[in-house]
C-alpha cells in the first residue's frame, strides 16, 4: 500500500469510499474535490499499487488548519482493510504538531474507540447534531511531540 498526498485525481476514488462509508451523509464530488485540494487542507490517501485491487483508494484523511488548532474533517478506511493501523498511520502523517479537534457521532463506536486510542478526550457534546438524530461528541487532543 502507498500512502501519499491526495490530488484532484483521487476525487473519484475518495468519493466512492465516502459513499460506502457514509451513505446519505457522504460528501458530494464537489465537496470531495474541495476537501482534497482546498486551502488549509492536508489530505492523504492510501492506495494499492497502480491498477492492483478492486478499489482505487482504501483509506484517507482530511484535516484543515484553523488558527492554532487543526480540525479533523474525515478519516475513513475501507472495511476490508480495518484494524491494520491504517487510520492511526494516516492521522500521525497528517500532523501531530498542533492540537487537533473533531466531532464524532456518539453512536459511532468504532470511531470513538479509535479516537480514544489516539489520545482524544471529549470536551463537548452537541445533542441531536447529526441527521440521524445522534449526538455529536466534540473531542480534542493536545499537540504531540
- The string of DSSP codes covering 86-119 is HHHHHHHHH-SSS-EEEEEETT-HHHHHHHHHTT
For residues 34 and 106, give the distance between their C-alpha atoms in angstroms, rounded to a whole number: 26
Contact flag: residue 117 with ligand COA (CB under 6 A): yes
Contact flag: residue 13 with ligand COA (CB under 6 A): no
Figure out which of the listed residues 1, 31, 48, 88 binds ligand COA, where binding follows CB under 6 A.
88
By 3-state DSSP, what share of the chain in percent is helix, strand and coil, each rounded to 5? 35, 30, 35
Residues numbered 23 to 82 that lie near ligand COA (CB under 6 A) are 74-77, 82
Closest to ligand COA by CB, 70 vs 111, is 111
Contact flag: residue 15 with ligand COA (CB under 6 A): no
Q: Which three cell numbers stand for residue 2?
A: 502507498
Q: Which stretch binds ligand COA (CB under 6 A): 30-38, 63-71, 83-91, 128-136?
A: 83-91
For residues 2 and 48, give the distance between their C-alpha atoms in angstroms, rounded to a whole number: 6
Q: Which chain residues interact with ligand COA by CB under 6 A?
A: 21, 74-77, 82-88, 104, 108, 110-111, 113-114, 117
Amino acid at each position: 500500500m502507498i500512502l501519499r498526498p491526495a490530488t484532484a485525481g483521487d476525487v473519484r476514488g475518495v468519493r466512492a469510499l465516502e459513499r460506502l462509508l457514509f451513505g446519505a451523509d457522504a460528501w458530494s464530488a464537489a465537496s470531495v474535490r474541495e476537501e482534497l485540494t482546498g486551502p488549509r487542507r492536508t489530505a492523504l490517501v492510501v492506495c494499492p499499487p497502480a491498477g492492483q485491487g478492486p478499489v482505487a483508494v482504501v483509506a484517507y484523511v482530511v484535516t484543515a488548519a484553523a488558527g492554532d488548532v487543526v480540525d479533523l474533517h474525515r478519516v475513513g478506511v475501507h472495511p476490508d482493510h480495518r484494524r491494520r493501523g491504517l487510520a492511526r498511520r494516516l492521522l500521525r502523517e497528517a500532523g501531530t504538531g498542533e492540537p487537533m479537534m473533531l466531532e464524532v457521532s456518539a453512536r459511532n463506536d468504532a470511531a470513538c474507540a479509535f479516537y480514544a486510542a489516539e489520545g482524544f478526550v471529549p470536551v463537548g457534546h452537541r445533542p441531536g447534531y447529526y441527521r440521524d438524530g445522534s449526538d455529536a461528541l466534540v473531542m480534542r487532543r493536545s499537540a504531540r511531540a
